[in-house]
Structure 1
Amino acid sequence: MSHIHDILKTYWGYDSFRPLQEDIISAVLQKQDTLALLPTGGGKSVCFQVPALAMDGICIVISPLIALMKDQVEQLQKRHIPAVALYSGLTRREIDITLDNCVFGQYKFLYISPERIQTELFIERVKRMKVGLLAVDEAHCISQWGYDFRPPYLEIVKLREILPDVPVIALTATATKEVRKDIIDKLAFRKPQVFQKSFARENLSYSAFKEENKEKKLYTILQRVPGSAVVYVRSRKRTQKLAEWLTQSGISADFYHAGLSNQQRSQKQDAWITNHTRVMVATNAFGMGIDKPDVRTVIHIDLPDTLEAYYQEAGRAGRDEKKAYAVALYHQSDITDLQERVERAYPPIEFIRRTYQSLANYYQIAVGSGYLSSYDFELDTFADTYKLPPSDTYYALKRLEDEGFIQFNESFYSPSKVYFQIDKKQLYEFQVANAGFDVLIKMLLRMYGGEVFTSFMVISEYAVARQLQIQIADVERMLTALHGYNILIYDKQKDKPQITFTTVRFNAVDMPLQTRHLQIRKQQELDKVQAVITYVTHQNRCRTLLLLEYFDEISDKECGVCDICLEKKKQKDYSDYFHQNRQKILQLLTGKEISLQQLVYAINPKNEKMLLDTIREMAGTGEVKYAANGNIYIPS
């Protein structure tokens, strides 16, 4: 197995694997179907990336989140590992060229969204690829019992029919017993190997506090616990307000949500990662794929809908294995709001149909067409156009996504890309005949190399303009003109939410919405909300044990560091201390009275406050009394 250690050292710079990683990698290399359950920050990607590099052929990675795909592809490329991603919003030509390059062995990793694997274009190309490994990331999405079910994940099993000898590794950070069984069944595992790292985090102290003034408590926590922090809230507007309030209160803070431009998100992330910003106030759009090991505190000002989501978000604290804190703040209205949110999240069936019909009208998609077509989408503009309530419309879109009719990416960014459609000889002839484009073409070739003839290359109009000392608008104008002349394909940057139709368009009246299925999903969400409520309101059970129990991990070993365990320890310490001090006090007072000062001096306690509390409690029960001169004595 020394070669996998060489790969780890060469590409990641690590000398050894984390617990379970080597066992998982070994199972994959033995071509066994493998399920890896590793907590957030447990190094899941290494478990398929290292064996894929040790095997012949390409590794196809199925992932539901565009942001996560892009992040992993960028990380691999930084390590000089050829990787590429296919997702909604790409042109057919881009997809075509990328898949061709995968067939010819140009890439080692192909990241693809589950919707794409159903397309004839992909299926035909994958038959010609030399595939070594199939990796299913966020595998809980395949289960209807999971908290983030994605119907297209059910199509992955068809890939197994095309690639019968290719092993599968499924990975997730959070899965209950039912979800684990579902993953194994739905992916048709043969003799499955299951590896599960304990969900317990020894260095992470969980707490939940009922607070009337959550902002005041937040400020107190941040004052007491130094270091980097994340504060999770629900609404975009609140991220900004809370970040501004913290800044005014003398704590370095910024805000983050899916509505920001890609440039804004990158700048804010970088400032936080490099500790120029201490606190990031964010919606749940923040954190996925961000590797910052020294986060000391994660605080939820608003409660998440599921314990799976809470565990993932809280787990971003203390990845460096040093002491860290995960705190949930709530008051009674939050608990009521959680339950009401689930009710609101399932609008009437007729409203869901109306929203779908409005989408089809908005993009002028005829019945029977539109399969995998993607469009920029602005919720407020769309809702206003068809006089739809924005909140209800949002939830209707989420239900349409659950049912597999659309994919709704609230945060989508695709950088500008170019691809030369003609060969070098034809390009030279064009340059000679069109001198006005010569300088730009030469600069593109100098900056991005010959790969622009074989695959779509990400470019920066800003960088090109700076090199040429011209305006960005002039670069964009010339690239658009070259696109019009069919010299190159110029796919300009996109930075808006996207809607992708994942089936052909149905007549809204006849679309096969599964009413019973939606009712079951609603009840599942209510059950998950109840689990969150039980977790935060429990007053006598170790928080870690509550989480372990939810994930079907049976343990009786209390963590010793959560708020419940610390309170129990404090009470036990006081009880022990009380009994020890009581005996000393009674011995010293036998047959005489002593002043309080003399008592304290004679006992010389490590904790004077606890001694005074003991005397006060003994006086309260009548075991000792105060004389008129203030001395203490034992009454006869």
Structure 2
Amino acid sequence: MSYLDILHQYWGYPDFRGIQKDIIDSIGSGKDTLGLMPTGGGKSLTFQVPALAQEGVCLVITPLIALMKDQVDHLRRQGITAAAIYSGMRHDDIITTLENCTFGGVKLLYISPERICSDLFKTKLRHIKVSFITVDEAHCISQWGYDFRPSYLQIADIRKLVPDAPILALTATATPEVVDDIQEQLGFKEKNVFCMSFERKNLAYVVRQTEDKDAEMVHILQSIPKTAIVYCRSRKRTKEVAQMLAENSISATWYHAGLEPGVKDQRQNDWQNDKVRVMVATNAFGMGIDKPNVRAVIHIDCPSSLEAYFQEAGRAGRDGKKAYAVLLYNGHDNRTLQKRIEDTFPPKDYIQEVYEHLAYFYQIGVGSGYGCTFEFPIDKFCNSFKHFPIRVNAALTILQRAGYIDYEQNPDTKARVRFLLNRDELYRLDSLSDKEDDVVTALLRNYGGLFSDFGYIDESYIAQEAGLDRNQIYMVLVNLSKKNIINFIPRKNIPLVSYTQDRIDGDDVVLSEDVYEDRKEQFIKRINSVINYAQNERVCRSRQLLSYFGETKSKDCEQCDVCLSHTNEDDSDEKELIRQQLMTFLSDGQKHLITDIRQLNDNWDLLQKVMRDMVLEEEILMDGSFLLLS
């Protein structure tokens, strides 16, 4: 079956888009391939289609556990045999999954980078026919990237176990330096890069200088009354901003990594289904979210890199229609960004002190601790030793890079269930709802030993068996627990710390240049790039971003705040005339179709620019195909 036939049969698309076919042909012919595709470019198809066309299993390495579960569920609904291995799975389930791969029962195996290091996986991999290896979020393997993850460095070792399998590396954000480093770290036989333009012609990038960010954000959301995302740096701030928006009659909810899984699912679904208009979130929200009609992404706080900003801003306007990416900025942000450097790279003696305190916290003596894993309640640790969480988090991350510990900040531990009633008492119950009965039946059918001890369960699998979604499963399990039918322990996100070598004296901890100084220098460059972007009012915003990613042949977008200010200077008299015409036409306070407004002036291009400018300046509102006075 041809690639196009597979696309038709499983996805129903008429043809491939952009560079999808080029990437598929390249990996399909056995060449190591790097694909650079911006957010929303359809990168999943570049490995899913050739995986179905070839014999064997496509190994998909991705750090996004929630995303891999969603993709596996989606592929299974399409009749494609897919599976996933990630932290928190039962040992028996992992073995079963790997044996299914060995005997041809799986076409795509998703696995987290942490799991590929296990002896079990390496042993089983030798018996699996691997068609090719896909490395998603490939920038994570580069120490010069903005989101380096040490676990990615293990991929090169995995490649040695299946030397005939080519590698497909995919990323949405990479500078030219990172592009070269990805290929080197993954051992590409020869350089082979396919790059889709990062230009988003429908996305207007705007930097709004303001001392009152909350008020400015409310004005913007009232001017663009459609679905939006607001990004904040702190979890606490997400709730505060969402409540402030609600007080201004703007429907909003908040999202961050610390919320319970069921709560996160519910809020994401409410926003996805337009029950809530604005999602206020940390950067934990957005990966794998493909909501096409987001009209605005607003950053109320500056991100730490243009890579992160570009990826988050790119979640607006995926339907190809006009959308806005707005960065709110003032003089305080400059100081905040500079402080972030010290918070991310605290002094070396402070890092050594945190290492010592960690040993006191767990009572680990010098010369012991190797292989030990502990839950890490960061608030309790900080209260005990008078530390600030941000700096402790940074210190542990650096200690991980140096090889002293493994620090897993967001482990996806599985939920656990134990029946409190015996089997006979359970069968005599007549007070269960239909949903509760379906969940109990699914638990009994798929998990043994739940009457005698806690057992790990997969809520996604139970949902599939019971014909419910994951949020419904969570609520049913909570209700069963309240009725004292089961004891339900939900998934939790307490970080984990593991000693990867025996504890040494804190003064003997060595932080080499490539672990500390070199990475700090790169981080400073990224921070300065954000500051330069926010303060540069001479060069088109789109051109600034594209240049950062190595695209030098770009044109002015003619829709960002910089371009509009230049247009204002060039056509000021005619624009003022059009502005007055618009204000007069809309003075009746009614909504007017844009097609009617087109009759006001023969210069339609300039009329459009004036309308866009007036929307940004909050003089008029755009509501679908209508305009009205603000």
Structure-2-length-normalised TM-score: 0.80
- Counterpart in 1 of 2:106? 107
1:507 to 493, 504, 515: 504
Alignment of 1:153-232 (within 5 A): 153-232=152-231
**Whole-Å Cα distance in 1 between the matches of residues 377 and 341 of structure 2?**
24
8 A contact 1:152–1:404 mirrored in 2:
no
Partner of 2:230, secondary structure, is strand
2:442 partner amino acid:
M
- Counterpart in 2 of 1:288? 287
How far off its partner does 1:163 sit?
0.8
- Counterpart in 2 of 1:459? 462
2:553 to 545, 552, 555: 555
8 A contact 2:64–2:112 mirrored in 1:
yes
1:518 partner amino acid:
Y
Instruction: Check 1:318–1:464 CA distance in 2 against 1; reply closer, same or farther (3 A cut).
Output: closer
How far off its partner does 1:475 sit?
4.6
- Counterpart in 1 of 2:469? none
- Counterpart in 2 of 1:142? 141
**Could you report, residue by residue, the CA deviation over 1:588-623 in whole angstroms, capped at 9, with x for unpaired residues?**
xxxxxxxxxxxxxxxx9999xx9xxxxxxxxxxxxx
- Counterpart in 1 of 2:619? none
2:351 partner amino acid:
I
Alignment of 1:13-92 (within 5 A): 13-92=12-91
**Whole-Å Cα distance in 2 between the matches of residues 234 and 46 of structure 1?**
32
Q: RMSD of the TM alignment (CA)?
A: 3.4
- Counterpart in 2 of 1:630? none
- Counterpart in 2 of 1:583? none
Partner of 1:459, secondary structure, is helix
**Whole-Å Cα distance in 2 between the matches of residues 246 and 129 of structure 1?**
53
8 A contact 1:465–1:471 mirrored in 2:
no
Alignment of 1:589-628 (within 5 A): none
8 A contact 1:151–1:404 mirrored in 2:
no
- Counterpart in 2 of 1:633? none
1:476 to 475, 486, 489: 486
2:552 partner amino acid:
I
Instruction: Check 1:108–1:578 CA distance in 2 against 1; reply closer, same or farther (3 A cut).
Output: closer
2:540 to 539, 542, 547: 542
Instruction: Check 1:192–1:201 CA distance in 2 against 1; reply closer, same or farther (3 A cut).
Output: same
Give the unaligned 5+ runs of structure 1: 420-432, 480-491, 580-603, 611-636
- Counterpart in 1 of 2:341? 342
8 A contact 2:480–2:486 mirrored in 1:
no
Do residues 327 (structure 1) and 326 (structure 2) align? yes
8 A contact 1:150–1:404 mirrored in 2:
no
How far off its partner does 1:289 sit?
1.2
Do residues 258 (structure 1) and 268 (structure 2) align? no
- Counterpart in 2 of 1:498? 495
Instruction: Check 1:318–1:409 CA distance in 2 against 1; reply closer, same or farther (3 A cut).
Output: farther
8 A contact 1:374–1:498 mirrored in 2:
no
**Could you report, residue by residue, the CA deviation over 1:350-402 in whole angstroms, capped at 9, with x for unpaired residues?**
3323333444554566756554x654433212222344333321221232344
Do residues 565 (structure 1) and 563 (structure 2) align? yes
Do residues 309 (structure 1) and 308 (structure 2) align? yes
2:486 partner amino acid:
E
**Whole-Å Cα distance in 1 between the matches of residues 2 and 331 of structure 2?**
56
How far off its partner does 1:8 sit?
2.3
2:202 partner amino acid:
N
Instruction: Check 1:292–1:140 CA distance in 2 against 1; reply closer, same or farther (3 A cut).
Output: same
**Whole-Å Cα distance in 2 between the matches of residues 207 and 434 of structure 1?**
62
**Could you report, residue by residue, the CA deviation over 1:489-546 in whole angstroms, capped at 9, with x for unpaired residues?**
xxx6422233153724442534553255301111111111111111111111111110
How far off its partner does 1:128 sit?
1.0
Instruction: Check 1:92–1:463 CA distance in 2 against 1; reply closer, same or farther (3 A cut).
Output: closer
Larger Rg: 1 or 2?
1
**Could you report, residue by residue, the CA deviation over 1:270-312 in whole angstroms, capped at 9, with x for unpaired residues?**
1111111111111111111111111000011110010000000
2:462 partner amino acid:
I
How far off its partner does 1:237 sit?
1.3
- Counterpart in 2 of 1:528? 526
**Could you report, residue by residue, the CA deviation over 1:219-240 in whole angstroms, capped at 9, with x for unpaired residues?**
1111111210011111111111
1:573 partner amino acid:
D
**Whole-Å Cα distance in 2 between the matches of residues 330 and 384 of structure 1?**
33
Q: Which moved more, 1:141-150 or 1:105-114?
A: 105-114
Instruction: Check 1:223–1:185 CA distance in 2 against 1; reply closer, same or farther (3 A cut).
Output: same
Partner of 1:44, secondary structure, is coil
Instruction: Check 1:443–1:229 CA distance in 2 against 1; reply closer, same or farther (3 A cut).
Output: closer
Structure-1-length-normalised TM-score: 0.79
1:533 partner amino acid:
I
Instruction: Check 1:578–1:248 CA distance in 2 against 1; reply closer, same or farther (3 A cut).
Output: closer
How far off its partner does 1:567 sit?
1.7
- Counterpart in 2 of 1:355? 354
How far off its partner does 1:59 sit?
1.4
**Whole-Å Cα distance in 1 between the matches of residues 424 and 601 of structure 2?**
91
How far off its partner does 1:14 sit?
2.2
Alignment of 1:426-465 (within 5 A): 447=442, 458-459=461-462
8 A contact 1:377–1:496 mirrored in 2:
no
**Whole-Å Cα distance in 2 between the matches of residues 515 and 298 of structure 1?**
37
- Counterpart in 2 of 1:614? none
- Using the aligned pairs only, state the percent identity: 43
8 A contact 2:413–2:493 mirrored in 1:
no
Instruction: Check 1:390–1:556 CA distance in 2 against 1; reply closer, same or farther (3 A cut).
Output: closer
**Whole-Å Cα distance in 2 between the matches of residues 79 and 58 of structure 1?**
17
**Whole-Å Cα distance in 2 between the matches of residues 193 and 180 of structure 1?**
10
2:520 partner amino acid:
K
